[in-house]
Amino acid sequence: MSTHLRSQQWFGRTGKDGFIYRAWMKNQGIPDEEFRGKPVIGICNTWSELTPCNAHFRELAESVKRGVIAAGGFPVEFPVMSLGETLMKPTAMLYRNLASMDVEESIRANPVDGVVLLCGCDKTTPSLVMGACSVNLPTIVVSGGPMLIGRYEGRDIGTSDIWRFADAVRSGAMSQEQLTVAEACMCRSRGHCAVMGTASTMACMVESLGLTLPTNAAIPAADSRRKVLAQYSGGRIVDMVREDLTLSKILTREAFENAIRVNAAIGGSTNFVIHLLAIARRIGIDLSIEDFHEQSAGIPLLVNLQPSGQYFMEDFYYAGGLPVVVQALSDRLHPGTRTANGQTLLENCASAVCHRPDVIATLESPFKSETGLAILRGNLCADGAVIKPSAASPRLMQHTGKAVVFENIEDYHARVDDPSLDVDETSVMVLKNVGPVGYPGMPEVGNMGIPRKLLERGVTDMVRISDGRMSGTGFGTVVLHAAPEAAIGGTLALVQAGDLIRLDVSARRLELLVDEAELERRRAAWQPSHPVADRGYVSLFQQHVQQAHLGADLDFLHGSSGSEVLRDSH
Ligand code: FES
């Protein structure tokens, strides 16, 4: 066994190199037998006090270690770049690819045989999975779990209420003092956002891909069963090393198709598209944006969670969690996809029982008939755009209106509440230069707030279009990820105030109703106006980031370099 362990290329050596590899570990008080043939398990930790959603991960790592040790492995915890969605400026997405490089190189460079990925807040999950895929060791994911449900003035609240509170303050319906009280009421426990936002979507994604033990997605962070799952995961990764169950043996094309179908049924975040594409390209699976339409066609929304519905992740867990959804979809899923525990996804979920039909509906009587995400095409998004019909207004699914154009996010903030802004409830709000290159980093600003003068008249939704993203906790009739983006000369860059735009979600079309000759004239006169970095990581990012329909990864990070270290002597 020990001769096959990758870690023995370090710890199993004789001579000077072996001396150095072991001796410096011994300064931590680690006895010799720990290095003699035990699987070495790296615990890749995104703990950070600047990532509040992951601030409990040191404790979770201790549970993982207990499992590793009990199963005969040797755990070693290491930090990687952590991406806190709420604090990082200009946007955590700018750093997803950088964090993935840290993860990839940290794993490959070190004497580990298998890896446990501790992730929670939005970008921490895709960045860790992307990096691990480019090494392809046996790997298991442990999510941090969602927060408990918030309570404010007698009602349940979660992150999606931020947008409602913000509009209420702007329209005068809520005071600043009430808003301050609501802050503490919403985030009252450890964990990530408690709605089906991006973090919860990512937790469901890794479970449906087969990268976790069953029930990982929904156990609240504060629930002691989260630690139990972490301990079991620590035990299981040791066996995964013994079985050589690498990521590429789990992440097959069928596993990705299953994840897309499950995501449709749970009403997952629009960010699911961009992150799953990036992960697929790292592990070498040919996935395109069209797959998101084809694979989810005919799958209705089963899960009644905010922002598409009423409830929270805590409710989802008590209802039975993701295994109930998988079981409900069993006829529509590939049966043979293997998961981290060695069983198939369907075998893991065969005995799942739904305890809350109001939270998880059935295929026969779904919560909503619309599927979770729709992929749009048209001259405004030749390479695609994304909308979440389940979180949009049915009356706006087919809509034609005049464009109100904001050239960038600063222009939006300067003019949106101007009483003289030429806008009404039929207008289509267009925001440019918030794409991967243009911002840069594709921030979550696509669900622009409604102009104050319309809010005061009771308007709560309008068609909004951008090349940016939207928080998974957001909602509204919001078209996102338009590609090519404005900053590289996509048609979005050519939209002018007053142009007519037609959205038809059932036909999957998004069209700028301006004739081609006029568009050509505008294209010839167009000049980029986005900021361009002249040094450092941001400069590298702007030069190499790909468009949203390719996952917004850096072009040189596609694929895997494997786990072999090519030059390995001191
Ligand atoms: Fe971390 Fe929402 S801010 S998951």
pLDDT at 569: 66
β-pairing verdict for 398-406 and 500-504: antiparallel
Does residue 199 line the site of ligand 1, with CB under 6 A?
Answer: yes
Is 143 within 8 Å of 216 (Cβ atoms)?
yes
pLDDT beneath 70: ranges in the chain = 1-3, 569-570
The maximal CA–CA distance of the chain, rounded, in angstroms, is 79
Does residue 146 line the site of ligand 1, with CB under 6 A?
Answer: no
Using DSSP's 3-state secondary structure scheme, residue 119 falls into strand
Does residue 83 line the site of ligand 1, with CB under 6 A?
Answer: no
pLDDT at 1: 45
Q: By C-alpha distance, which of 321, 320, 278, 284 is closest to 559?
A: 284
| DSSP one-letter code for 557 | G
What does the pLDDT look like over 361-373, one tens digit per residue?
999 999 998 777 8
pLDDT at 119: 97
Does residue 193 line the site of ligand 1, with CB under 6 A?
Answer: yes
Q: Which ligand 1 atom minimizes the distance to the CA of 472?
A: 2
Q: By C-alpha distance, which of 309, 318, 280, 404 is closest to 146?
A: 318
Q: How far is the CA of 247 from the centre of ligand 1 (A)?
A: 26
The torsion defined by the Cα of 335, 338, 339 and 344, in degrees rounded to 10, comes to: 40
Q: How far is the CA of 399 from the centre of ligand 1 (A)?
A: 32
What does the pLDDT look like over 235-265, one tens digit per residue?
999 999 999 999 999 999 999 999 999 999 9
Task: Locate the domains of the chain by residue range.
Answer: 38-148+189-349, 377-533
Q: How far is the CA of 51 from the centre of ligand 1 (A)?
A: 8
Residue with CA nearest ligand 1 atom 2? 193
Rg (CA), the chain: 24
User: pTM of this prediction?
Assistant: 0.96
Is 229 within 8 Å of 206 (Cβ atoms)?
no
Domain 38-148+189-349 CATH superfamily: Response regulator (3.40.50.2300)
- Fold exhibited by the domain 377-533: Glucose Oxidase; domain 1 (3.50.30)
Kindly state the tokens that stand for 341: 């525990």
**Residue 62, class by beta-carbon neighbours within 10 Å (0-12 exposed, 13-18 middle, 19+ buried)?**
middle
Angstrom distances, CA of residue 364 to CA of 165, 259, 311? 36, 21, 21
Q: Do domains 38-148+189-349 and 377-533 have the same CATH topology?
A: no
Q: How far is the CA of 494 from the centre of ligand 1 (A)?
A: 34
Q: Which ligand 1 atom minimizes the distance to the CA of 51?
A: 1
β-pairing verdict for 509-512 and 500-504: antiparallel
β-pairing verdict for 374-376 and 40-45: unpaired
The stretches of 301-426 forming alpha helices (DSSP H) are: 313-319, 322-328, 345-349, 409-415
Q: How far is the CA of 280 from the centre of ligand 1 (A)?
A: 23
Q: How far is the CA of 338 from the centre of ligand 1 (A)?
A: 29
pLDDT at 558: 96
